[in-house]
Amino acid sequence: MADWFDSEIWKLAGHHEYHEPVEAEALLSPAPESIWPGLMNPNLIPIVSNGIGDWLCASVGADSQIVAIVQWYHGGGDWIIWGKDIAEAIVFDAVQSRLPGPRRRHAEPAQGAPSSPVAPDNDPLLKWAVSHLHSSIGEAIALQVDSHRIAEILLQTGVAEVAVRCELVQDVLHLSAFSAIDSQALQSIGVDADEVSRWSLDHERIPPNLIERLPQPLPTQDWSEAENHAVAVSAIAPDTSWGWDIAGYAAGKRGDSDAARMRYTKGSQCPIFSDQSIRLQTHWAVAESGKFSVAMLVSDFSDSVAESDYLRAITHPNPIRRSDNVSAYWLDRGEGAVADGRFADAYQYFVAAGWDIGMRPITAYGRLLEKIASAAEMSGQVGRGRIARIHRKCLRDRYGS
């Protein structure tokens, strides 16, 4: 990151989707325009844009160091880790179209993304990024190796591992196979959207009489391999819900109810914005229970709900009340932590109040960001405190609150 600024790489433009670095002067302004206050997590610093509102953001940890680069999608605030640093994220951006899997990323594809890969020597951002990583990365890009080989190289070198494994889960589960069937053919056999999503995730749920009527055979899903990828992600990024979601479902399918329950419980505590539900076909469960892991706990381990104030809050049938209840739950825990002098815990709870399943209205984030900044500062998290205060000023400038 120091070299990014010292070498003035940010003055250059790339040729892949994320090709517009934010200018250093813009980041130093009192209220940077690139920050989406109340939508972006309060520890994020936007670094590179795709020009249509999505960003590669630096995620700042408790020690004021950058701990990851996340891809943040403005159409809902979803995020996924694209690398430990900006070099990894730029490389993943360049090679993602060459990885295995359906490459389903958003409801609407990004505009202006290149239709074919651009070689490092022809892309200044990619050339810079490759120079900071293992030599095999640049060689793989230059030699145009096949999709599974480049995924293997990225995993072997630990580059963009969370994002790569997300692509591989989609690949081994063939998540696009069922949803890719012609919509008229699906309508003719009486299938609705939620059923398509549910069956896309798990082909074994499709009734046998419907399988016989499908216009094409479905490939076999490899749930063992999907579980391996999901477990690895849960170890690397335990605050990422999709790893726990897939790992829990895989455990349930092979009959390990203890592992499934533990993993769903972990996933239920992760923010919904980290679930990648559209890509991984888990969004059918969100409408009723707020999160996929919560829905699975309700379905398979109903006693969990009765034992948990949080689960009772997030399973409220009214979405508006649900959001209010969850925010109130975390705010209450945050205030309790402040009273006990546990300011690091308070920081986490206050962040969850706004970014677990969201808070309303947007102006409510003003007071919340002040609580977050104060808790960060009191716990010695200087960087997070300063960033939260900048997000607070952006909110005031944009919404007058």
Q: What is the pLDDT of residues 180-237, one digit of tens each?
A: 666 666 667 667 767 788 888 999 988 887 777 776 788 899 999 999 999 999 999 9
Strand 55-60 and strand 79-83: the pairing is unpaired
What residues are paired with 72 via a beta bridge? 55, 79
For residues 400 and 394, give the distance between their C-alpha atoms in angstroms, rounded to a whole number: 9
Amino acid at 134: H
46: nearest Cα among 33, 36, 56? 56
Q: What digits encode the pLDDT tens for the residues 340-353?
A: 999 999 999 999 99
CA 231 to chain centre: 16
pLDDT in the model for residue 112? 46
N-terminal to C-terminal alpha carbon distance within the chain: 33
Q: How many residues does the chain have?
A: 401
pLDDT in the model for residue 179? 65
Q: Is 110's pLDDT higher than 70? A: no
Average pLDDT over residues 102-117: 50
171: nearest Cα among 218, 221, 206? 221
Long-range interactions of 339-346: CB distance < 8 A, separation 24+? 343/375, 343/376, 343/378, 343/379, 344/62, 344/375, 344/379, 344/381, 346/371, 346/375, 346/378, 346/379
Contact (Cβ atoms closer than 8 angstroms) between residue 399 and residue 369: no
Average pLDDT over residues 46-71: 98
Q: Is 241's pLDDT higher than 90? A: yes
Amino acid at 130: V
Q: What digits encode the pLDDT tens for the residues 271-282?
A: 999 999 999 999
Residue 106: pLDDT band with limits 50, 70, 90 = very low
- Centre a 10 Å sphere on the Cβ of residue 257 and count the other Cβ atoms it contains: 11
Average pLDDT over residues 83-93: 98
Helix, strand, coil proportions of the chain in percent (round to 5)? 55, 5, 35
Element (H, E) at 36: none
- Centre a 10 Å sphere on the Cβ of residue 256 and count the other Cβ atoms it contains: 15
- Longest CA–CA span in the chain (Å) reads 63
What residues are paired with 57 via a beta bridge? 46, 70
81: nearest Cα among 228, 229, 230, 236? 236
Q: What digits encode the pLDDT tens for the residues 264-310?
A: 999 999 999 999 999 999 998 887 788 999 999 999 999 988 889 99
pLDDT in the model for residue 312? 93
Amino acid at 278: I
Name the residue with tokens 């690949």.
171
Residue 214 per-residue DSSP state = S
Out of 57-66, 102-111, 253-262, 387-396, pick the least confident.
102-111
Walk across the sheet containing 44-49 and list its strands: 20-21, 44-49, 55-60, 66-72, 79-83
For residues 78 and 61, give the distance between their C-alpha atoms in angstroms, rounded to a whole number: 19
Average pLDDT over residues 48-70: 97
Query: Across all residues in the chain, what is the average pLDDT?
Result: 92
